[in-house]
Amino acid sequence: MKNIHLIIFVVLISVSNISNSFGQKKKRIDLLAIPEVTRDKVICFALYTVHNNVLKITAQFYPLEKGESREARLEIKRDEKWINIGNADIIERGWTAPFRINNWNDAQQVPYRIKHGKEASYEGIIQKNPANKTEFVIVGFTGNSINPGHGGDISKKDLVENIKKIKPDLLFFSGDQVYDHRRHYAAWLKFGRDFGEVIKNHPTVTIPDDHDVGQPNLWGHNGKKSTLPGASDGGYTMPVEYVKEVERAQTSHLPDPYDPTPINRGIGTYYTNLNWGRISFAIIEDRKFKTGPAGMIPKQGPRPDHIRNPDYDPKSVDVPQARLLGERQLKFLDKWSQDWANTDMKVALSQTIFCGGAHIHGKIGGRLHADLDSNGWPQTGRNKAIASLRKAYAFHFAGDQHLGTVFHHGINEWRDSIYSFCVPSIANLYLRWWKPLQPGKNRAPGEDPILGDHLDGFNNKVTAIAVANPSPEKGGDRLTTRAAGFGVIRINKQTRDVTFICWPRNVNVSAKNAKPYPGWPFTFNQLDNYGRKAVAYLPSLQINKANQVVQVINEKTGEIVYTLRIKGTTFRPKVFTKDSYTINVGEGVARKSLKGIKSHNKVETLTVKL
């Protein structure tokens, strides 16, 4: 992640007198100053999701005055009349009002408003579930730096206007919405002022990352207290109540946690499943359970998390006690991969991707051999996470690295697993480059040598498909030279094709001459997320009903090989050992189990009637 001295400026941005180039004095504006608002404007913004007919909205308030009501009201518009459907207490620490409405009818678009006192009112739209849409669109962001030197002071209007033009079905903010290590509340209000105009009208996933919870790096280490500079021993630096306030503000509108059991010191969890538009999203906390490197592996650089020794043995850092997602989340992903109710395709959302996705950090010349803050470490945990996701034919959408990339991941062989899309930062605080020393293998003719098959610094197999590196020279536009931008994903549920698009800032995506970063758009098929080569095949299934769930189980090991809602009425399951298998077809009481199915390479057909 980022050296702490690079972000300390944020705390110091305040109203102060500084000399300009003419020797005169001028004032710098505190970008995080909480504005004084009239009492009709005390509601800053609101976030919501709808999952399994449960509507959850979190209203974010400016500070309330003594004697003002600590209750908010939620109303919807029906037959041109506003009807109250629920009240929520306003939590004073962080000034949030979380609403939960059960038995929500998601088959219609509904105007809503949040009310407070006699004057304050904030209106938005709860969208209709896009279950019947052929194309599902996600727009993703990360890294909302406020450093003026990096473009953080530039209006977010270009992003807001592009969101309106794209008309997404889901907004995703993958972390570092806040770049202040002591004033999350003030920075969160600014985030809401920047994006509230569109957030109020679209289901939105926000998940906090390290800067949101007030530290330069985060290895959550199951909630322990961190005591080392940079938090490299793992755990949280800020007080528990601060961490809880951050997570309440950013995640209380998400579907209920899969397992709400607190981790150490009473810190909560929010990893969960969101089903919207027949797309099932696993929302993962890829920092919370990860162990810190300090004291766990030998220090091989200036910091415990930076390995600069190119001759080190990657196996030496993959120690048995190191964890990535933790057993709780792996169990969640195992269950999630099997559950295809009202689901056509699956997506994982988290803070960052499962590899070392950059070689140069901070500035030209800042080459690292391996970055232990990345999710390429620990390798065993990385492989477990990817193996869980490919069993669901899911792809991965994330941020954090400040660098737009598309990778095809491999476990045993290159390209045998999932695709990932890491979006670039909104405004790029800490630059990174993907610049391998050796050219990639198996590239298409004429492709840049940085693409193709590589080993990252942990010897993880990765195939670089597209990269949006910053410009090497200084100067120029603060956004485009720093490769700032955002990501768009278009999922065609009819063809099961997925298209990644990486857009720079300062463009109008609807303009005829608008171009994404070179290398995008990139399109692949759902089935490409399990790119492992077949050892054998099972008989081709001919099913009398279309689009059924097919699950393949190895009878020798008991392992679920994969679960998938197929497209159409025919499917030939591939397998990776020459054993006997059980094939489950269908859902619920109508599901049929076909046992003792032999694997071979003959072309056979098996008719299944449901």
Does 26 reside within a domain? no
Does 187 reside within a domain? no
**Over 60: is that where the pLDDT of 15 sits?**
no
Q: What angle do CA 562, 567, 568 make, to 5 degrees?
A: 130
Closest CA to 217 of 61, 60, 7: 7
**Over 70: is that where the pLDDT of 141 sits?**
yes
> In terms of C-beta density within 10 A (0-12 exposed, 13-18 middle, 19 or more buried), how is residue 117 classed?
middle
**Over 50: is that where the pLDDT of 12 sits?**
no
Q: What angle do CA 500, 502, 503 make, to 5 degrees?
A: 140
**Interval 90-132: pLDDT, tens:** 999 999 999 999 999 999 999 999 999 999 999 999 999 999 9
Which pLDDT value is given to residue 29? 62
**Interval 249-308: pLDDT, tens:** 999 999 999 999 999 999 999 999 999 999 999 999 999 999 999 999 988 888 999 999
Q: Are strands 279-283 and 345-349 parallel, antiparallel or unpaired?
A: parallel
Same domain, 81 and 140: no
Residue 171 corresponds to which tokens in the numbers above?
Answer: 């907004």
The residue from 502, 530, 558 where one domain ends is: 530
- Rounded mean pLDDT of 192-202? 97
Band (439; pLDDT cuts 50, 70, 90): very high
Band (319; pLDDT cuts 50, 70, 90): very high
**Over 60: is that where the pLDDT of 544 sits?**
yes
Same domain, 420 and 445: yes
- In the chain, helix, strand, coil percent, each to 5? 15, 30, 50
Does 590 reside within a domain? yes
Lowest mean pLDDT among 89-93, 457-461, 475-479, 497-501: 475-479
**Over 90: is that where the pLDDT of 582 sits?**
yes
Same domain, 280 and 308: yes
**Over 50: is that where the pLDDT of 19 sits?**
no
Which residue would you say has higher pLDDT here, 77 or 32?
77
Same domain, 289 and 426: yes
Determine the Cα–Cα distance for residues 460 and 370; give it in Å rounded to an integer: 11
- CATH number for the domain harbouring residue 297: 3.60.21
The residue from 530, 555, 588 where one domain ends is: 530
Does 28 reside within a domain? no
Domain range for 87: 39-126
- CATH number for the domain harbouring residue 555: 2.60.40
**Over 90: is that where the pLDDT of 563 sits?**
yes
Does 309 reside within a domain? yes
Does 177 reside within a domain? no
Does 242 reside within a domain? no
Same domain, 346 and 430: yes
Lowest mean pLDDT among 285-289, 367-371, 471-475: 471-475
Same domain, 429 and 551: no
Band (485; pLDDT cuts 50, 70, 90): very high
Indicate the number of domains in the chain. Answer: 3
Band (310; pLDDT cuts 50, 70, 90): confident
Which pLDDT value is given to residue 475? 64
Same domain, 141 and 117: no
Same domain, 491 and 416: yes
Same domain, 438 and 484: yes
Q: Are strands 279-283 and 306-307 parallel, antiparallel or unpaired?
A: unpaired
**Over 50: is that where the pLDDT of 13 sits?**
no
Which pLDDT value is given to residue 149? 81
Determine the Cα–Cα distance for residues 43 and 96; give it in Å rounded to an integer: 10
Same domain, 349 and 440: yes
Same domain, 145 and 287: yes
The residue from 499, 530, 561 where one domain ends is: 530
Which residue would you say has higher pLDDT here, 171 or 428?
171
- CATH number for the domain harbouring residue 72: 2.60.40.10
Does 174 reside within a domain? no
Band (11; pLDDT cuts 50, 70, 90): very low
Same domain, 357 and 417: yes
Residue ranges of alpha helices (H) inside 342-456 are: 379-390
